[in-house]
Structure 1
Amino acid sequence: MNHLEIAHVGKSFGETNVLHDISFSVKEGEFVALLGPSGSGKSTLFRIIGGISWPSQGTVNLNGDDITGKRGSISYTPQSSSLMPWRTILDNVLLGQEIAGKRDVERALQMIERAGLKGFEKSYPHELSGGMQQRASFIRSILSPQPLILLDEPFSALDEFTRLDMQKWLLSIWSEYKRSILFVTHNIEEAIFLADRIIVLSARPATVKKEFIIPFPRPREEGILLTDAFLQWKKRIYQEMREQ
């Protein structure tokens, strides 16, 4: 049972209080979006969950084990694709497995083909577009042995149409492998389209302001973005974020 529990996490930098008493959970196979205004501390919280930073208060638990400040328990993908420029695409997507002491080349090649990157296995990151780099980065996360994937605004640098294509691709891969995902964004449409549940953070110091369970059935097609029901959800969440 892959279950993430964030319990009363706070973070301060000197006199600046960034996060205050944040608690929420992510269940096995669940896609949760963390939504908040720019500068609300979303990335700081992600670094704490990923073990890159220590909280000032609170704990991070995975499957009942305290992983606060421990790296390697969770697959963390920052805003940039974070591919190593000196490694080929194949070697980049295998990195997480290598760190864990194994290397399943056959499965990696299957995933590369599934991502539409067949023929680029021996290419280097600079030879790929931004969207292709993000696909490779996500394949690396899927192939890594950690049960939970953190995605920190991975599509924020992409144009609108490429971003939608990447969202649809991400959903198709997630529906097949059903890894637990915590996805940070400040884009309301993106959060509604992707997530089972949305956690809204307040402005700094960030607290959990509201949780929404998204009712749209899966699989989700892009046509849902133009429906009245989707627009009503967007208005509802927008109003919640505006009331700071």
Structure 2
Amino acid sequence: MGVHITSLTKAFGKQKQTVVLEDINLQVGKGEFITIIGPSGCGKSTLLKLAAGLDGEYDGSIEMNGEAIAGPGVKQGFIFQEHRLFPWLTVENNIAADLSLRNPKVRREVDELIELVRLQGFEQAYPRELSGGMSQRVAIARALLRKPEVLLLDEPFGALDAFTRTHLQEALLEIWQKQRTTMILVTHDIDESIYLADRVVIMSTKPGRISSIIPIGLPHPRKRGSRPFQELRQKVLGEFEKVEELQLIDGSGI
């Protein structure tokens, strides 16, 4: 079970002349953590949106636990690059969103998630009173409240400073280890991709294809300065550089 993407091709334009993704085949096991890296324009974010059901016009198939994804639903949680919180709602109400905190079950689960993402004491704060990292924690908690079978994350830490980014990587790992939600995260950060993932998917562009998939195989917690981590970093970087070289050869740029 998990997410199965088979022969996926996505094109834009009236005549579908601009092919963004071509012949994508990817199987993500239930409870697996996958990261996707690749040059700008390779279709990483488009792939996530298709998996989230936000766009249904494509060739091929996307299945979750054996069922075709027909559109947005509670089975797919999506975290955008920006948090997209409601500015007029407090932290706890942003997490609950369309659910009522008067419901004891919702109230209990919201409180548990606030503790899980380490936002105790900020339940009544508004988005304007939060840092970028705290806002992204609220967005993650909101997605997890719906108990998605897969959590799709589109560079959620890209705009954060290095310290906050590292802290949120640790928080996300803690959530994953506790809940074992299947996670697919898009990133431009090679170290982040290795630190978090069971497997790193490397994409090429023009059109977007899967160039290679590298299993990580390191136990958590991982030490970025360790020899095994650095060896994997060189391997991923080498594969990524091959993609860039191919782009330069065919004149497509990066």
Corresponding position of 1:26: 28
Aligned to 1:71: 72
**Alignment partner, residue 112 of structure 1:** 114
**How high is the sequence identity, in percent, across the aligned residues?**
36
CA displacement, residues 23-70 of structure 1 (integer Å, 9 cap, x when unaligned): 1011111111111112211111111111111243111111111114x1
Residue pair 1:10, 1:22 contacting (<8 A) in 2 also:
yes
Residue 102 of structure 1 deviates from its aligned partner by 9.4
3-state DSSP class of the match of 1:19?
strand
Structure 2: tracts of 5 or more residues without a match:
244-254
- Following TM superposition, by how much is the alpha carbon of 1:113 offset from its aligned partner in structure 2, in angstroms? 2.5
* Structure 1, gaps ≥5 residues long: none
Larger radius of gyration: 2
Cα deviation code 1:202-243 (max 9, x no counterpart): 12311111111111112x14xx11112211111111111111
Change over 3 Å in CA distance of 1:59–1:103 after alignment to 2: farther
**Correspondence for 2:142 among 140, 143, 147:** 140
- The alpha-carbon deviation at position 96 of structure 1 amounts to 6.9
Equivalent runs, 1:68-217 vs 2, <5 Å: 68=70, 70-72=71-73, 73-95=75-97, 104-217=106-219
In 1, the alpha carbon distance for the partners of 2:238 and 2:129 equals 42
1:54 to 47, 53, 56: 56
Question: Mean alpha-carbon deviation: is it higher for 108-117 or for 209-218?
Answer: 108-117
Question: Is this contact kept in 2: 1:40–1:203, CA < 8 A?
Answer: yes
SS at match of 1:120: coil
Letter in 1 for 2:32: E
Alignment match of 1:44 (pick from 46, 54, 73): 46
Detail structure 1 runs of 4+ shifted over 4 Å in the superposition. none
Report if aligned partners of 2:42, 2:209 keep a CA contact under 8 Å in 1: no
Residue 10 of structure 2 is aligned to residue 11 of structure 1: yes
Distance 1:96 1:195 in 2: 32
Change (3 A) 1:243 1:102: farther
1:227 maps to amino acid: S
C-alpha spacing 1:209/1:102, structure 2 compared with 1 (3 Å): farther
CA contact (8 A) 1:199 1:212 kept: yes
> TM-score, length-normalised on structure 1?
0.92
The 8 Å contact of residues 148 and 181 in structure 2, kept in 1 or not, is answered as no
Could you tell me how far apart the structure 2 residues matched to 1:47 and 1:96 are? 22
SS in 1 for 2:118: coil
Q: CA deviation at 1:103?
A: 5.7
Q: Distance in 1 between the 2:37 and 2:201 partners?
A: 6
RMSD (Å) for aligned C-alpha atoms: 1.7
Output the CA distance in 2 between the equivalents of 1:148 and 1:39: 24
Matches of residues 204-243 of structure 1 in structure 2 within 5 Å?
Answer: 204-218=206-220, 220-221=221-222, 224-243=223-242
